Amino acid sequence: MLSKEEIVKELSRLERRIAWLKDQLTPKRAKKRAVALAGKFPQLSALTDAQIDEATQVWEQEFERTRSLRP
């Protein structure tokens, strides 16, 4: 049986591994864009990834809708 300290240590290692894997999945362009947006709009750093993804989807849908209206 693992001690509480060993479990916490293993969870910490797994969290770091998950963060690293997530970082590997994010394209460099998206990372640069996120950093640029956070610099212009510091309040964005308070948003979760899910909220940012939702806002991005809404933006892209609106962009496509307005683009189709152009002559």
Q: Which helix (H) or strand (E) holds 48?
A: none
Integer CA distances (angstroms), 43 to 3, 47, 60, in order: 40, 8, 21
33-48 tens-digit pLDDT: 666 676 777 777 777 7
What are the boundaries of each domain within the chain?
1-40, 42-71
- Which residue type, as a one-letter code, is found at position 35? V
For the ranges 19-23, 41-45, 52-56, the lowest mean pLDDT is seen at: 41-45
Contacts of 37 (CB under 8 A, 6+ apart): 44
Yes or no: say if 44 and 37 are a contact pair by the CB < 8 Å rule.
yes
Return the pLDDT at 71. 63
| Segment of 2-16, 19-33, 35-49 carrying the highest mean pLDDT | 2-16
Task: Tell whether the torsion through CA atoms of 11, 23, 34 and 56 is positive or negative.
Answer: negative
